[in-house]
Structure 1
Amino acid sequence: MKKLKLVLLILPFSIVLMNCNSTKKGAEYKAVEKKISYNNDIKPIIANSCTPCHMPPQGRKEPFENYAQVKEHIASIIERVKLPQDNRKFMPPVNKKPALTEAEVAVLVKWQEQGMQE
């Protein structure tokens, strides 16, 4: 009798666990994942963190003033913003602008992964 009660108690939980599949949740999450675009998401980060050094006419570095230029340099931008702040190649320079937040860097990376939509 006790075994029957135990089985009847465990059975509903095992059915629920069998129906909880993390890969299903992952697929659903990807379906609603936000598409990142240059105009809405990337351009404000670049404008805030890369001016005036990369914005002509004041800028004397690679220009990042439009979609094509940022798309062309996105790999090096991501590489440099991820460097330790004491690295001389870190961007933006510590004495000029604050470092990008982890969330901003994640947006740049995700944009690159998604194919760099304009």
Structure 2
Amino acid sequence: MPTIAVTDSSWEDDVLKSDKPVLVDFWADWCGPCKMIGPALEEISDELGDKVTIAKMDIMANTDIPGQIGVKSIPLMVLFKNGEAVAQKLGAAPKSALKGWIEGEI
């Protein structure tokens, strides 16, 4: 399952009302580390898509939700379960570390 793009307007339906955990990657096009982890998140989404939705939110195009959540640095990955933020990871990491963290949290 490919990653999905989440926007300020789709946030409630895509993340808060999801019937499975959603990992949201807050990123921006100018962020080098964000670009580095993008392909790994795509692969993880394919591998774990039945257990978790991997979503990406461009903080430059969508400012409301990142502001409400308090995103100050990127890449920031926040895991939501039942509409609540339950875990977060700041910064880039190798695919194996990202996947292990996600699997440990879901």
Q: Report which structure shows greater RCO (CA 8 Å, sep ≥6).
A: 2
Task: Report TM bin, short chain.
Answer: under 0.3
Q: Which has more helix, going by share of residues?
A: 1
